[in-house]
Amino acid sequence: DIDNFKSINDTYGHHGGDTALIKISETLRERTRRSDFPARYGGEEFVLILPETDQESALQVANKIHEEIRSQTFGTSTSRFALTVSIGLSSTSTKQYADWRQMLEDADQAMYVAKNSGKDRVQVCLPRGKNGLTQISAHACRMSLRSVALFIPFVLTLVVGAWIIFEPGQGTVSGDLKR
């Protein structure tokens, strides 16, 4: 999810917001494999499907995309701005899911934890603990991160993989898709 996207539209107009969405889409396409599936999920969200991808590999992808977006300049020739994203991640390599919706829900929850923990970070959803509650681990983008899956309005996973949803400025969610 793009952090503070509404303020970008309010400050730079919808054209400024649209150029940011296009540039993020291009970044996702350029930074993923041919077998991955990046897509706009709605509003300022994206989902990235990463087939046959474990949590550690998905986390590496999420961190690379996060840093790439963070280092870019957006806008038009007359009005430039930077933006950040919050990414939520879940993976089938750390948890079994009955269907893709549950995995997406965990990634979505991880994204909201990222947003509520200061934004501009990758958030990993960990398997449920003994008490049945999902444990969530937040990491600032500049910290060295370990393995996990993302959510930054796109999905990253298929059968044995993990999916990520990226909502620019908001976070990322990931999950597993069953056929």
Give the residue numbers annotated as catalytic, written as ranges: 44
Bridge partners (DSSP) listed for residue 109: none
124 membership: H or E segment, kind and range? strand 121-128
CA gap 125, 107 in Å, rounded: 6
CA gap 50, 144 in Å, rounded: 22
Q: Which tokens go with 41?
A: 């999920």
Q: Which tokens go with 65?
A: 């995309």
CB 7 within 8 A of CB 174: no
CB 85 within 8 A of CB 69: yes
Q: Which tokens go with 150?
A: 């993302």
Which is nearest to 85 in space by CA: 10, 20, 18, 152?
A: 152
